[in-house]
Amino acid sequence: MPKSLTHIETKPPKIINNLMIFIHGYGSSGHDLITLSHHFQRHLNNCHFISPHAPYKISSMENAYFWFPIDTFDENHLQEGVNQTIPILDKFIKLIIAKYNIQYRQIILCGFSQGTLLAIHYGLTLKTQLKAIIGFSGGALPSLKHQINNNTPICLIHGQDDQVLPCLYSEKTAKILTEQQHPHNIKIIPGLEHSINNQGLEYAIKFIQQL
């Protein structure tokens, strides 16, 4: 039985047109990405925002969670972590869909770092299309090319000076998506490290608005 996730959320609008689910990175929590909601809220009418905490806690740190251990960046190790975590994320999202009576096509996944990896692999392996996937400072594994089951548009945003996960991860993911003729945009931001800035947020907002 997949683990259950705890989460935080904004006050839902009376009518929900879209629902954004934030998927945070390693060593973070749902509290970090939910702070981005007010940036999106100003431009996306009737959008609700939900930010789950990853299922595992780092005992030596406060409010620090992870989706799966990252002992190495070996692709097989990461793939195993993704495969083990997707059922947990899937269970959570199905509960949210039932609670708010929405459709998959109304959902926007917004990931950062480890969360981007999960958002892409979960979102594109679904049989049903989502509204969009926004991926900050992360990318997918090579296996993605054999796993795409829908046409969800993807927006990849990455800092050119990222020393934690170099922007090459986003560029390799974009190459896979191009080869698979999958709709996507990519933005590499000069001077940005492993973080999210206003330029990246503005790019993501415009991407969603154009869908």
DSSP structure string for 166-181: -THHHHHHHHHHHHTT
Distance CA 130, CA 193 (A): 29
* Catalytic position from the list 48, 53, 182, 194: 194
* Catalytic position from the list 51, 113, 137, 170: 113
Q: Is 113 designated active site?
A: yes
Q: Which residues contact 193 (CB under 8 A, 6 or more apart)?
A: 159, 161, 162, 163, 164
Distance CA 100, CA 98 (A): 6
Is 19 in a helix, a strand, or coil?
strand
> Closest Cα to residue 22, out of 133, 103, 131?
133
Taking CA atoms, 96 is separated from 46, 52, 91, 159, in Å, by: 16, 11, 9, 31
* Catalytic position from the list 28, 51, 162, 170: 162
Q: Is 48 designated active site?
A: no
Residue 26 CB coordination number (10 Å): 20
Q: Is 51 designated active site?
A: no
Task: Catalogue the active-site residues.
Answer: 113, 162, 194
